[in-house]
Amino acid sequence: MPMPVTRLASDINLKFHSKKKKLPSKMREFLERSTTAQSVITYVVLIATSMVMGDGALTPAISVLSAVQGIQSRSPKITQELWDKQSQLRFLSYYLLWFAFVSLIGLYNIIKYYPPVLKAVSPLHIITFFARNKRKAWEQLGAIVLCITGAEAMFADLGHFNKSSIQMGFSAVVYPSMILAYSGQAAFLIKNPSKLSTTFYSSTPEPLFWPMFIVATLSAIVASQALISASFSIIRQSIALGCFPRVTMKHTSEKYEGQVYSPEVNYFLMITCILITYGFKGGPQIGQAFGTVVIWVMLFTTTLMTVVMVVVWQTNIIAVGLFFALFFCIEGIYMTSLLNKVLQGGWVPFANTAFFLAITMSWTYGRRKKNEYDATNLVGKQEFIKIVTGSSQVPGICIFCTDLMNGIPPIVRHYVKHTGSIREVMVFVTVRILPVRSVLPEERFLVDKLDHVGVYRCILQYGYMDNHNMDDDDFVVLVVASLKQIADNDEILLLDSAFTNGTSFVIGRTILKMSITRNCFKRFVINNLYRFLQKNFRSNMSSLKIAPGKTLQVGMHYEI
């Protein structure tokens, strides 16, 4: 029977963006009803997240290469081989120093070279520029796209900062500083057009060159953490949705759930970043690659944001249409202006995306097929009673670890068929990770009786900072204590007796095998890609600390 829906004390303060309306829009009803639309949205999300993960390798490369470009502005014979090992610097002082430096230097250049440059802030000038230059103006957008790419990095760091702090920081510090910095560089170029390739450092006054170089390098390293941490966070969310193989995830903060670290992902990004840096060697192609991926991510973000406004926030459809038309038009113009850059380095982010997309698509498809098999091959009520009554019962408790919240998984049928016996008490345990720091002890176990005496279901709830320790007898004591709360007198005696006879854990491991009659591409995805990922990544139960001496792993082939 389905588990009862519970309301945790930790959920009380959860709020929605807007009040729920009584009459959902037709668009929302369509999206909730159409499986095709849901599949399209899922694939768009997977493509977008794959691009962000690929962006996590490009951002450190371009940030650090751009910062240390100052060395070549002084000596073109020196190549960028410096690597600062202090990769964990995140101090606010570096950001404040950086914004103070670029603001003051920008203001200095504006006053010294060309004060009227501030008129460029007016949108009228871009309209005039397009009217006068037409196609050439459109092509020039690809050259200035890096001026806006930082916006993506800011909002990628929502795992460390909330929405209000980012909005306040952008409005009060970032935007004014960038206007002064870019205006100052433009004023400098008006008088010194030959310095185009090294504008940033060439426009820096001589006494401030080395201080600026140090601050820029440190700030670039710190700024790279935004996309790196975003990669960790987005992979964690993908794992939670079953769209990415399980990797190690360590929470680095007890206060903020979004602050996570993954050693495997970190090493992969490091290797990819080194390869990109070596391949581009600091040339302009890396900027074209970075600009291309950021604009595509912005386009996907606008599209998905529109869906959120319709389905979740239930915003007025006219406002949604205006939002989508405005931002999609702006980003679409930038995107088309970068199409000619694809062969000049812009292909790299698409290669990164294809790599991550192959992983996410294969894993998502494989998990969906596994879930479909589980759902259609569940052990029915009468069959389960027949299995229990027809098998010899062994004293003790058997804890079956399963992903299913409801129903008896088909691997139980496989287990009993090959062992011919079951424990006198069986508990089907499903682990659920909640978006809270820690779950209260009284909310840890949700238990219910199943269709036979001595058979129970338990949903084990953990917060992201809780220790998943099932290794000692204390865990079994807590499970038994929870079961006693719903048991009658005879069942309590049975639980006590079973506990004294020991506990074993059974973990199922399924291997998908697609029939030879199916599509050859689908067979390749399931029989090769998905199986490779399943073998080489962590299993769902890997985070649980279970004594190896008490654990039995049961393998089963799923013919699909």
Range of lowest pLDDT (58-67, 319-328, 352-361):
58-67
**pLDDT value of residue 437:** 77
Average pLDDT, the chain: 80
| 559 contacts 513 by C-beta, under 8 angstroms | yes
| Tens-digit pLDDT profile for residues 132-171 | 888 888 888 877 777 777 666 555 555 556 678 778 888 8
User: Is 80 exceeded by the pLDDT of residue 465?
Assistant: no
CA distances from 493 to 2, 165, 392, 488 (A): 26, 57, 20, 9
**pLDDT value of residue 151:** 65
Of 52, 2, 40, 69, nearest in space to 301 by CA = 52
Of 107, 105, 116, nearest in space to 190 by CA = 116
User: Is 80 exceeded by the pLDDT of residue 496?
Assistant: yes
Q: How far apart (Å, rounded) are the C-alpha atoms in residues 205 and 492?
A: 82
Range of lowest pLDDT (116-120, 177-181, 259-263, 320-324):
259-263
| 403 contacts 284 by C-beta, under 8 angstroms | no
Q: Give the percent of the chain with pLDDT over 70.
A: 84
Torsion angles phi and psi, residue 424, rounded to 5: -70, -20
Task: Give the single-character DSSP code of 391.
Answer: S
Q: Which runs of E-coded beta strand occur in 434-550?
A: 445-449, 455-462, 503-513
**pLDDT value of residue 69:** 55
CA distances from 137 to 125, 133, 331, 333 (A): 12, 5, 15, 11
Q: How far apart (Å, rounded) are the C-alpha atoms in residues 297 and 292?
A: 9
User: Is 60 exceeded by the pLDDT of residue 15?
Assistant: no
β-pairing verdict for 250-251 and 260-261: antiparallel
User: Is 60 exceeded by the pLDDT of residue 90?
Assistant: no
3-state secondary structure labels for all residues of 507-530 = EEEEEEECCCCCCHHHHHHHHHHH
Q: How far apart (Å, rounded) are the C-alpha atoms in residues 240 and 462?
A: 14
User: Is 80 exceeded by the pLDDT of residue 64?
Assistant: no
| Tens-digit pLDDT profile for residues 528-542 | 999 999 888 877 666
| 357 contacts 48 by C-beta, under 8 angstroms | no
CB proximity list for 368: less than 8 A, separation 6 or greater:
none
Q: Which residue has the higher pLDDT, 545 or 354?
A: 354
**pLDDT value of residue 328:** 93
Provide the pLDDT confidence category of residue 180 given band limits of 50, 70 and 90: very high
User: Is 50 exceeded by the pLDDT of residue 318?
Assistant: yes
Of 199, 177, 180, nearest in space to 190 by CA = 199
**pLDDT value of residue 104:** 94
The two tokens of residue 370 are 């596994």
Task: Give the residue-averaged pLDDT of 398-406.
Answer: 86
